[in-house]
Structure 1
Amino acid sequence: MQQFISQVPKCELHLHIEGTLEPELKFALAARNNVELPYTDVDEMRAGYRFHDLPSFLACYYEGMSVLLTEADFYDLAWAYLTKAQEQNVRYAEIFFDPQAHTSRGVPFGTVIRGLRRALIDARRLLDVRAQLIMCFLRDFTAEYAMATLMESLPYQEWIIGVGLDSDERGNPPEKFAKVFARARAEGYQLTMHCDLDQENSVDHIRQCLDVIGVDRIDHGVNSLESEELQKEIKARGLGLTVCPISNSYVRGSAWQDAVRQMLDRGLRVTISSDDPAYMNGYVTENLLAVQAVTPLTPAEVLQLQRNAFEIAWLPDAAKDGYLAELDRYAGAN
């Protein structure tokens, strides 16, 4: 099963590019940009990644972005992830980026997206890995700042497939950004939102995603298991849920372990992704192996997780069909 999981064609839909900034690259970018880091070496930096909930994680996460200043930095960041994705047989990825985390410290929007975009183009040509960008708003900033960021994105709209919402959920419900997401929908963007694990009012926030925002899918969304009504509605709408098991384990300990099993058994379109792998010590293959280690999956279930991901991906039908055919060939050969 380890070999089967490692080699299966994969689709990753919940991956923060800033969360792939490995310590080695962070030190290299710091040296290039003359940024002083509060660590003497890679080991000390890794040891400093200590968090037990979303706010404590975010403190580490945003501190690390100080080294990202130039278009070349964002290119190198994305290229490092895409190279890793190829090694793990990720055939397609939808990548979150947080422009406000950079514009708020003086880095222009265009600098961020041009660097990321060049890496995506090169990965398609040189690595045969296809990827698209999802622009996330930071929910602990104002809705007005989110709207301004949405407007700033429009000249680059062809490079962005959708918009999302992430960062600290406490006191920042989906409905806070209803007008922003309505405008994003009108501009032609796909919509998703984080409903992080075990946050205050988690179930109500998922309901708001459905009834107020009208999302096209839900990121995390594990707390939907607490409501039969929500599960029925999610299934009726055909929505996918992008679950990140290793990430969730930092919030709930070992109790997340049967969430993927429950979602599969209940017919939800659950998918597996890696969230912030440089901080969570696990890319998408490791996340699949983590699930396998505690709630053993059959080959058919591993394939179903990948089929779910390709089916809910924001791709033309012809591209989806090509990846699904690749998955079927892999199943037939194994």
Structure 2
Amino acid sequence: MSTALAIAGSGAVPVLVTAAGERAGIRFLEFFASTLRNPHTRRAYARAVTDFLAWCEAHAVPSITAVQPLHVAAWIELQTQARLAPTVKQQLAAIRHLFDWLVMGQVVPLNPAASVRGPAHSVRKGKTPVLDPAEARTLLDSIDVTTPIGLRDRALIALMVYSFGRVGAALAMKVEDVFVQNRRLWVRLREKGGKRHEMPCHHTLEEYLHAYLDGVGIAGDAKGPLFRTIGRGTQRLTRTPLPQANAYAMVRRRALAAAIGTKIGNHSFRATGITAYLKNGGTLENAAAMANHASTRTTQLYDRRRDEISLDEVERIRV
């Protein structure tokens, strides 16, 4: 039971769930333990559900079985006033999926969130800050690669730029996920939904990965993590995978040292690589395949070529 509680992201089953009986409590925990495999989604859903049920408790709803569409609609309206539309839509999805699960388990007869509509939201261009090719090159060249940490950081940033890989997939890689095939170095990434994705390395990425693996001496540790933390006081790599928060702090630190004003994050390199590829004559269809996107519509969110067109047009305003 303690393991299930940890998976649910909470120290205890919410009061409204407990009030519905043991069966409801077990079904509630099973929702987080069985249906949500992505840890980020699990945490976000747990936070949304916990906040909603706490609000219901504060408004005298006696049990999760007594939640009505009006309760869901009122809470969503409240969230819309304080949060961005994508966040509110995710919160509504969390509540809707939970009650779907409870309906299937015969804990509640109907899903009170099924008829509630979220805020309107349409996205045609992503908001992730991107670097132009010159800035990306400046960042990579600014890293001191005479140390293990420098070799690691350059290889990680280059991997995200040249493979279009998400930071989560990059940090989950093992040494054996860098391999030789057809006399070229390839990388193996496991993206969202457990999708396995393999692609050949750009020659620059191949150079940086070889330098990293050989320079820090981990090439023979096939089952070990590819990107690792640095031991405190030793300046040597440990066998602990680099956490995503540490990778973000590293990116911000490297950008500051390279005098890059754009407030970039881990995801910026995916958009940077895709945009650079398309600017150099690449096709949207191939970019989608390289990024392991199911649809080119998703890839278009990373295409920031129109930013340059907009800037050029703005400069036409001569007053």
Q: State the TM-score, normalizing by the size of structure 2.
A: 0.30
Which structure features the higher share of strand residues?
1
Q: State the TM-score, normalizing by the size of structure 1.
A: 0.29
Q: Which has the larger radius of gyration?
A: 2
RCO comparison, higher one (Cα < 8 Å, 6+) = 1
Which structure features the higher share of helix residues?
1
